[in-house]
Amino acid sequence: MLTEDQKWIYEHFSELVDKYAGKYISVAAGGIVAVGNSAKEVDSAARAKYPTIIPSILRIPRKEDFECLL
C-alpha cells in the first residue's frame, strides 16, 4: 500500500522530472518540502519544517537516465 506522499510523487512524477531533474526532493504533508543537491540536505530541511513527520526523499532522474534503462 502506498503512503499519501508516495501517491503524490506518482501522480506528479512527470512534472517533477521536468522541473527537478537531477535534484533531490523531500515530500511531506502532501507536497514538496525541500529541493537540493543531496539527500541529507533535503532531509534536514524537511525535518526542520515538519519535525514529527518522516519525509519521503528521492532523487529525481534526468530524462537521459531513462535512456539507460531501455
Encode pLDDT of 29-70 as tens digits.
889 999 999 999 999 999 999 999 999 999 999 888 877 555
Flag whether pLDDT at 17 surpasses 70.
Answer: yes
pTM score: 0.87
pLDDT band, very low/low/confident/very high, at 15 (cuts 50, 70, 90): very high
Per DSSP, 53 falls in state S
Say if CB 5 and CB 55 are below 8 A apart.
Answer: yes
Q: State residue 68's pLDDT score.
A: 59
Quickly tell me which residue has 519544517 as its cell: 49
Phi-psi category of 29—alpha, beta or left, where left has phi over 0 and alpha has psi -120 to 50? Answer: left
Flag whether pLDDT at 26 surpasses 60.
Answer: yes
